[in-house]
């Protein structure tokens, strides 16, 4: 099995208190599903936010629901609130 | 994600044409059935008793006299919703639909009646005695955040700050976005402008009021017919409130006479179901217009403090905004959206936004078309004009100088991929409207706007009927023309005429879950699912042709509505049409269909630029819109007439918000203008023909390049009109609506200085 390299995950301001104020964290994940799983394990304080809903921006494209989405090695990954529209 | 979402440049035959809408004749002849048009045998009339107080404890509700009135079949209060049944995550939804111990706003439901007719039901409401203890109230967003403001919820401890405050307040949550160092940026500025901008509370103003019919059976199952933007979500929430299995509640959506976000929330539906359950009869409940205004969600009233710095050569060095959004008595996420969208059009080195969700004694705030973005854009785009003037650069060139592009770090966080704000600005600069000479007494304004678009869960069935026509069944509500767009998409995929396709919206028992129509997702998400269903059906059609020809399915290609045998040995077989294959389906394996269930994501963000010319009568303060142009990126316009309609509709609503629409509260905390006479939305005679220009910059995440188009067009008008009016009267307008009294007051204030 290929080992997944560590990557930087950027966080919106609302998540930072759950990771000791950091603007970003480093995790190993190759899909959004894996990312959520690892984040919840490494930072249990993020679990309520994950349950409430987090959207993931991958190189500027926002994914609200598609957790099967792959995270390319060099992609910028940014966690955002899962917002609603009208 | 849809099975094949990559954009493929292609020539279209059906997509991009403008056929007649399939729901058009029914709508203009009155045949279409809206929420209030549904009736059942033996149905009762439901109505709701509402609080006359802005804030009051409910000490006791005596329903005994109402229950004894002849013809009354059920009276419900909060006691009829058993705590053990209610999903805890839906408690505030229920509390808004039926108050518990506290009435939080003028119009908050406290009891409901089902009776044999409207007269009896209304008489019964008068017999219900509610004992209130009136509490101090606060309806203004800035008053609500003051330390001594009446506290609306004793358990409200501000979220999003570290540490969590020890004292409760009316600030439910704080959210922060941005990057860079704004203090450093301001220190580098030659000119700094700080202002406070306010926007009034505007209602979506849909013409059709909320309406539903509920029929609850003694066996624990129920049916509901309702006007909604999302019948699957309504089902899930109603079932969660009444303690039902979702599968036992079948919800059928009606035609919708406007929603704009206001019909994504429950208001009367659980109450109607509870009445039907108690009465053991179908119950119909239709809101009056007064109730729609007082008790179904308007957009937030806001107060925004904004500060921006610029160098003499016109480079913005820093931008900062604190945005307070009123959310009614329940926590919302509206300020967060304002904070995310405020500066999204621009490439800024140092930017920071802080959103405050503020509780007030007003109805629960709901989504309204690109929720929260128009108010933030009013503040930012007004400032952009003011800064441009200060540095002597034309407003459009000042925006182009700072425009966000691929690779720009957005103000809400991520770096942008390919985006369309630059092209809309360039198109505006070159548009005949921008170049046209203004007539005497006319002034021009412009503004940009941003909105996120969404996708979400989508499910569809494509059935090839025995005569070769096709039915596409989707579960995402058609609010703005999705049935026409989907029929075009199916015609395109199958290679058959548009007229041969029927698009229908299924009830909740007929398809898997579909997300509601919000976030401009309807055409984007449903079309991805429809394309997927079509391609599965085409695979099946090719198999059927293979059976008829007794060849390998891989030797068959689907082209222009026909199966073609390919390859040297089979190329001489005459093609089989869709009609041939449909008529022989009985002998080749039975019905032919395709089914799709997807999570559609990757809708892509959306931008618009608007241009507005106004004439302001400086004696009366009245503003006339002389000319208005909307320029927006649609990705690909599936049915261009509908896209233009979305652009025009959003602009019309934004113009109404800019000039007249506003909730007005008395000192008693009661709404003073709950009707269209005193809450004035624009009518045709108030508006010019709104010009549109559709830009088609393909979305790489859709096979046709489609983006959402339904919301962004409401974002720029507040500021576009504001900039035009400010130019006309020579005074910076900082509050909407810019109603005649407000314009006269601004002129008087300027004159007295």
Q: What is the pLDDT of residues B302-314, one digit of tens each?
A: 999 999 999 999 9
Which whole number is the average pLDDT over B429-442? 97
DSSP assignments along B611-656, one per residue: EEEEEE-TTT--EEEEEEEEEEE-SS-SSHHHHHHHHHHHHHHHHH
What the block records as the tokens of B743 is 């314009």
Return the CATH number at B558. 3.30.365.10
CATH of A6-81, one of 3.30.360.10, 3.60.21.10, 3.10.20.30, 3.40.50.300: 3.10.20.30
Does the residue B607 lie in any domain? no
Q: Which of B265, B295, B325 is the last residue of a domain?
A: B295
What b-and-e string marks burial along A25-57, b requiring 16 or more CB atoms within 10 Å of the CB?
Answer: bebebeebebbbebbbeebeebeebbeeebbbb
In percent, how much of chain A has pLDDT > 90?
Answer: 66
pLDDT band at B146 (very low <50, low <70, confident <90, very high): very high
- Neighboring chain A residues of B411 at a CB cutoff of 8 Å: none
Please report whether residue B618 resides in a domain: no
* A2 confidence band (pLDDT: 50, 70, 90): low
pLDDT on residue B603: 87
Q: Are B34 and B208 in contact (CB under 8 A)?
A: yes
Number of separate domains in chain B: 2
Is B101 within the bounds of a domain? yes
Residues in chain B closer than 8 A to A76 (CB atoms): 414-415
> B73-102 as b/e, with b when 16 or more CB fall inside 10 Å?
bbbbbbebbeeeebeeebeebbbbbbbbeb
- CA separation for the pair A51, B651 (Å, rounded): 36
Say if residue A1's pLDDT is above 60: no
Q: What is the model's pLDDT at position B448?
A: 98
Q: What is the pLDDT of residues B517-534, one digit of tens each?
A: 999 999 999 999 999 999
Residues in A 8-47 with any Cβ partner in B closer than 8 A: 10, 12-14, 17, 21
Q: Does the interface ipTM go beyond 0.90? A: yes
Residue B557 lies in a domain: yes
Percentage of chain A with pLDDT > 70? 97
Residue B213 inside a domain? The answer is yes
pLDDT of residue B604: 85
Domain membership of residue B559 as a residue range = 455-600
Which candidate from A59, A61, A80 shows the least CB-CB separation from B413? A80
For β-strands B606-616 and B442-451, DSSP reports them as antiparallel
How far is it, in rounded angstroms, from Cα B2 to Cα A65?
A: 12
Q: Which of B414, B451, B599 sits opposite A65 (nearest CB)?
A: B599
Parse chain A into domains and list their residue ranges: 6-81
Q: What number of other Cβ atoms are within 10 A of residue B740's Cβ?
A: 17
B225-254 average pLDDT score: 98
Min Cα–Cα distance to chain B from A17, Å: 7
Q: What is the mean pLDDT of residues B322-332?
A: 97
Write down which residue in B600, B615, B631 finishes a domain: B600
B3 pLDDT above the threshold of 70? no
Of chain B, the percentage scoring pLDDT greater than 90 comes to: 95
Residue B680 has pLDDT above 60, yes or no: yes
pLDDT tens-place string over residues B180-209: 999 999 999 999 999 999 999 999 999 999
Contact A86 B417 (CB under 8 A): no
Q: Is A66 on the interface with B (CB under 8 A)?
A: yes
Residue of chain A whose Cα is closest to the Cα of B365 = A86
Considering B600, B615, B635, which residue would you say is the last residue of a domain?
A: B600
Classify burial at B687, counting beta carbons within 10 Å of its beta carbon; exposed 0-12, middle 13-18, buried 19 or more. middle
| Cβ neighbours of B604 (radius 10 Å) | 27
Tell me what the pLDDT averaged over chain B comes to: 96
Dihedral angle over CA of A77, A78, A81, A82, nearest 10: -20
Q: What gap in Å lies between CA B240 and CA B469, rounded to an integer?
A: 39
Task: Select from B371, B380, B395 the least CA-distant residue to B346.
Answer: B380
Per the CB < 8 A criterion, the answer to whether B310 and B190 are in contact is yes
Q: What is the pLDDT of residue B4?
A: 72
Q: Over the stretch B481-510, which tens digit does the pLDDT of each residue have? A: 999 999 999 999 999 999 999 999 999 999
Cα-Cα-Cα-Cα torsion A84, A85, A86, B4, nearest 10 degrees, comes to: -120
DSSP 3-state of B62: strand
**Where do we find the tokens 């004749």?**
B25
Residue A3: pLDDT over 90:
no
CB B519 within 8 A of CB B456: yes
Q: Is residue B496 part of a domain?
A: yes
Q: % helix / strand / coil in chain A, to the nearest 5?
A: 30, 30, 40
Segment B639-671, tens digit of pLDDT = 999 999 999 999 999 999 999 999 999 999 999
Of B264, B415, B457, the CB nearest to A65: B457
**Residues of chain B positioned with their CB less than 8 A from the CB of A17:** 160, 162
Position B576 in a domain: yes
β-pairing, B576-577 with B562-565?
antiparallel
For testing the chain A interface, which of B339, B344, B601, B711 should be mutated: the one with the most A CBs within 10 Å?
B601
Residue B353 lies in a domain: no
The alpha-carbon gap from B212 to the nearest alpha carbon of chain A, in Å, equals 21
Q: Are B695 and B632 in contact (CB under 8 A)?
A: yes
């Amino acid at each position: 099995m290929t080992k997944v390299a560590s990557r930087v995950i950027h966080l919106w301001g609302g998540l930072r208190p759950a990771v000791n104020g950091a603007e970003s964290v480093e995790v190993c994940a190759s899909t959004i599903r894996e990312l959520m799983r690892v984040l919840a394990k490494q930072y249990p304080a993020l679990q309520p936010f994950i349950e409430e809903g987090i959207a993931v921006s991958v190189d500027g494209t926002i994914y609200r629901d598609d957790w099967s989405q792959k995270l390319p090695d060099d992609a910028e990954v940014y966690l955002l609130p899962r917002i609603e529209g009208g | 994600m849809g099975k094949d979402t990559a954009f493929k440049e292609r020539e279209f035959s059906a997509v991009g044409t403008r056929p007649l809408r399939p729901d058009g004749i029914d709508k203009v002849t009155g045949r279409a059935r809206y929420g209030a048009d549904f009736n059942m045998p033996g149905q009762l009339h439901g109505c709701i008793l509402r609080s006359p107080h802005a804030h009051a404890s409910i000490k006791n509700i005596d329903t005994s006299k109402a229950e004894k009135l002849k013809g009354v079949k059920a009276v419900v209060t909060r006691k009829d919703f058993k705590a053990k049944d209610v999903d805890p995550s839906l408690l505030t939804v229920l509390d808004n639909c039926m108050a518990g111990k506290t009435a939080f706003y003028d119009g908050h439901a406290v009891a409901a009646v089902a009776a044999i007719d409207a007269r009896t039901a209304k008489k019964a409401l008068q017999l219900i005695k509610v004992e209130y203890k009136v509490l101090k109230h606060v309806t203004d967003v800035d008053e609500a955040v003051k330390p001594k403001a009446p506290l609306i919820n004793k358990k409200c401890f501000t979220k999003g700050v570290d540490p969590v405050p020890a004292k409760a307040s009316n600030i439910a949550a704080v959210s922060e976005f941005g990057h860079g160092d704004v203090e450093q940026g301001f220190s580098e500025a030659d000119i700094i402008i700080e202002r406070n901008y306010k926007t009034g509370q505007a209602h979506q103003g849909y013409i059709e009021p909320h309406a539903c019919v509920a029929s609850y059976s003694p066996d624990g199952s129920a049916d509901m017919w309702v006007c909604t933007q999302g019948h699957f979500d309504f089902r899930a929430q109603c079932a969660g409130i009444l303690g039902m299995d979702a599968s036992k509640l079948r919800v059928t959506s009606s035609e919708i006479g406007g929603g704009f976000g206001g019909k994504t929330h429950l208001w009367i539906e659980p109450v109607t179901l509870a009445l039907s359950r108690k009465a053991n009869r179908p119950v119909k409940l239709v809101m009056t217009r007064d109730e729609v205004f007082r008790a179904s969600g308007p957009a937030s009233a806001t107060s925004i403090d904004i500060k921006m710095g610029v160098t003499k050569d016109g480079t913005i060095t820093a931008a900062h905004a604190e945005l307070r959004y009123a959310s009614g008595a329940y926590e919302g996420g509206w300020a967060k959206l304002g904070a995310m969208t405020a500066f999204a059009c621009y490439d800024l080195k140092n930017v920071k936004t802080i959103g405050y969700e503020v509780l007030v004694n007003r109805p629960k705030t709901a989504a309204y078309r690109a929720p929260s973005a128009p108010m933030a854009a009013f503040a930012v785009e007004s400032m952009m004009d003011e800064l441009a003037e200060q540095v002597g650069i034309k407003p459009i060139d000042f925006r182009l100088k700072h425009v966000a592009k691929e690779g720009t770090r957005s103000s809400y966080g991520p770096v942008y991929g390919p985006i369309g704000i630059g092209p809309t600005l360039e198109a505006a600069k070159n548009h005949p409207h921008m170049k046209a000479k203004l007539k005497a007494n006319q002034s021009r304004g412009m503004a940009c706007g941003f909105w996120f678009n969404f996708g979400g869960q989508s499910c569809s069935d494509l059935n090839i009927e025995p005569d070769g026509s096709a039915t596409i069944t989707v579960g995402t509500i058609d609010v703005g023309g999705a049935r026409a767009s989907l029929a075009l998409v199916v015609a395109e995929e199958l290679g058959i005429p548009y007229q041969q396709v029927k698009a229908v919206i299924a009830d909740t028992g007929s398809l898997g879950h579909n997300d509601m129509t919000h976030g401009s997702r309807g055409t984007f998400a449903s079309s991805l699912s429809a394309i997927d269903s079509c391609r599965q059906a085409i695979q099946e059609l090719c198999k059927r042709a293979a059976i008829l020809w007794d060849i390998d399915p891989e030797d068959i290609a689907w082209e222009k509505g026909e199966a073609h045998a390919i390859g040297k040995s089979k190329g001489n077989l005459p093609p089989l049409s869709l009609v041939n294959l449909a008529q022989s389906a009985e002998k080749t394996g039975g019905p032919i269909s395709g089914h799709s269930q997807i999570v559609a994501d990757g809708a892509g963000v959306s931008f618009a630029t608007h241009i507005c010319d106004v004439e302001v009568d400086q004696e009366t303060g009245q503003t006339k819109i002389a000319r208005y142009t909307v320029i927006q990126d649609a990705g690909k316009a599936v049915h261009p007439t509908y896209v233009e309609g979305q652009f025009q509709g959003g602009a019309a609503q934004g113009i109404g918000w800019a000039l007249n629409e506003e909730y007005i509260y008395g000192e008693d905390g009661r709404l003073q203008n709950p009707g269209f006479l005193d809450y004035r939305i624009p009518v045709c005679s108030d508006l010019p023909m709104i010009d549109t220009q559709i830009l088609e910059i393909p979305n790489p995440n859709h096979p046709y390049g489609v983006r959402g188009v339904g919301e962004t067009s409401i974002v720029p008008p507040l500021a576009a009109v504001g900039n035009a009016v400010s130019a006309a009267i020579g005074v910076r307008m900082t509050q909407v609506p810019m109603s005649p009294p407000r314009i006269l007051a601004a002129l008087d204030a300027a004159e007295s200085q």
